[in-house]
């Protein structure tokens, strides 16, 4: 007969509640007591019954991570870091993607058929602040928002300062003496926060440097994919006065831009300098290696998991916003020189600047 919680408690000479706290990952158990219970669990080969635990506690021990596209390198890396961070506090993670489908996002946020599967949701949605407000009354699921939304005090929020990140990237190009700086990634017909904020940062850097904001240099991108970056560069190179530098709103856009410049018989960075955002692995090993704004994905994941765990433990606590650090990583696509690019390509991602 399989061992029970009571069997473990008797072997460890502790209460059943103490065993339950250890199995559930409850943090406020002394290390000495935790080791004693773990030893008894191993001796008896105890296996928790997840169904019984759910019925007893009302919790599944599972979090949901919902992103627009799982095959985008940034979201794939975020998923890995969230899984690692969740394991530390005793949670498993299920991943879903919305495919840029707002109806699917609404279903995930408000659908009672799926919410019983999860204790909480880490959500990187494309819906607007107004739409989130509309859904607020229809969901009781603990939620932490990831990505660039205006914090209004209703949901915990973990993100970067997109305006500043874009301004820093553009300022890097200006500091290299580039004056005809284009941007790829605007979405003027949409109300998503990310492109709006990055456009604001780009234009702010130009204005602060006394440079003209030229509408023809602000190129839209339906999606942040390589093909969109490639097509945008083709448009820019056809202008009477093509740019001498490009700020791309994602590294994937920048990778497409690199190829388009190369196909046009031009050089990076001699003719056109290029910088992206995300610090994906592909950019570290491309040739030329890609200058980028590195987002601290481990920081984002750790703080997001910490906030959802706190929200699950105390649903009535006030919402908190956490702003993650970022850093400009110059490489060959703006600085040139294979020696510098190789060093930068091997450099590690910026780690969290503070403990949770």
Render pLDDT for 171-206 as a digit per residue (tens, 0 to 9): 999 999 999 999 999 987 666 778 889 999 999 999
Range 226-231 contact pairs with CB under 8 angstroms and sequence separation of 24 or more? 226/252, 226/253, 226/255, 226/256, 226/259, 227/256, 228/184, 228/253, 228/256, 229/184, 229/253, 229/254, 229/255, 229/256, 229/257, 229/260, 230/256, 230/257, 230/259, 230/260, 231/256, 231/260
Can you name the residues that pair with 220 across neighbouring β-strands? 186
Quick one: CATH architecture of 62-159+297-324?
3-Layer(aba) Sandwich (3.40)
CATH number of this structure's domain 5-57: 1.10.260.40
Task: Give the closest residue to 300 by CA, choosing from 262, 238, 349.
Answer: 349
Which pLDDT does position 191 carry in this prediction? 65
Q: What dihedral do alpha carbons 326, 342, 183, 273 form, nearest 10°?
A: 140
Q: Where are the alpha helices (DSSP H) in 126-279?
A: 129-136, 162-175, 193-208, 226-237, 251-263
The rounded percent of the chain whose pLDDT value lies above 70 is 79
What does the block give as tokens for 316?
A: 């009535």
The CATH 3.40.50.2300 portion of the chain extends over 62-159+297-324, 162-295+327-346
Residue 52 predicted with pLDDT over 70 = no
The rounded percent of the chain whose pLDDT value lies above 90 is 47
Are 118 and 60 contacting, i.e. CB atoms less than 8 angstroms apart? yes
Contacts with 301 (C-beta within 8 Å, 6 or more apart), sequence order:
78, 81, 82, 84, 85
Q: Strand 120-123 vs strand 326-329: parallel, antiparallel, or unpaired? A: unpaired
Q: pLDDT grade, residue 22 (50/70/90)?
A: confident
What does the block give as tokens for 197?
A: 């904020």
Q: What are phi and psi of 137, to 5 degrees?
A: -75, -15
Query: How much is the average pLDDT of 21-27?
Result: 69
Q: What is the pTM of this model?
A: 0.78
Which pLDDT does position 90 carry in this prediction? 81
Average pLDDT of the chain is 84
More confident residue, 125 or 253: 253
Distance CA 57, CA 197 (A): 42
The CATH 1.10.260.40 portion of the chain extends over 5-57
Residue 352 predicted with pLDDT over 90 = no
At the topology level, CATH places domain 162-295+327-346 in Rossmann fold (3.40.50)
Q: Which SS3 state, helix, strand or coil, does residue 156 take?
A: strand
The sheet carrying 291-295 orders its strands as 218-220, 181-186, 245-248, 273-278, 291-295, 326-329
Query: How much is the average pLDDT of 99-111?
Result: 69
């Amino acid at each position: 007969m399989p061992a029970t919680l009571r069997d473990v408690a008797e072997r460890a000479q502790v209460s059943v509640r103490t065993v339950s706290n250890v199995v559930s990952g409850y943090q406020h158990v002394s290390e000495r007591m935790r080791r004693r219970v773990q030893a008894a669990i191993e001796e008896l080969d105890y296996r928790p019954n997840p169904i019984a635990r759910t019925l007893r506690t009302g919790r599944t021990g599972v979090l949901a991570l919902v992103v627009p596209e799982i095959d985008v390198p940034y979201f794939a890396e975020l998923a890995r870091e969230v899984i690692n961070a969740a394991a530390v506090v005793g949670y498993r993670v299920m991943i879903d993607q919305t495919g840029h489908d707002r109806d699917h996002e609404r279903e995930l946020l408000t659908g009672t058929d799926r919410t019983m599967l999860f204790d909480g949701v880490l959500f990187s949605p494309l819906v607007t602040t107004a739409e989130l407000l509309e859904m607020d009354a229809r969901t009781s699921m603990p939620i932490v928002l990831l990505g660039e939304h205006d914090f209004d005090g209703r949901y915990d929020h973990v993100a970067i300062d997109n305006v500043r990140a874009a301004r820093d990237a553009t300022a890097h190009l200006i500091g290299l003496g580039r004056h005809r700086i284009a941007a790829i990634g605007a979405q003027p017909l949409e109300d998503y926060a990310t492109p709006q904020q990055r456009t604001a940062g780009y234009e702010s850097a130009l204005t602060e440097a006394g440079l003209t904001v030229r509408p023809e240099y602000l190129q839209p991108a339906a999606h942040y994919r390589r093909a969109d970056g490639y097509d945008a560069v083709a448009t820019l190179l056809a202008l009477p006065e093509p740019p001498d530098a490009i700020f791309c709103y994602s590294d994937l856009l920048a990778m497409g831009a690199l190829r388009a410049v190369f196909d046009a018989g031009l050089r990076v960075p001699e003719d056109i300098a290029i910088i992206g955002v995300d610090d994906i692995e592909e950019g570290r090993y491309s040739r030329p290696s890609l200058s980028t704004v590195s987002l601290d994905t481990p920081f984002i994941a750790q703080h997001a998991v910490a906030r959802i765990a706190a929200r699950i433990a105390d649903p009535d606590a006030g919402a908190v916003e956490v702003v993650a650090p970022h850093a400009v990583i110059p490489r060959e696509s703006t600085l040139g020189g294979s020696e510098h690019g190789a060093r930068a390509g091997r450099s590690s991602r910026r780690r969290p600047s503070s403990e949770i």
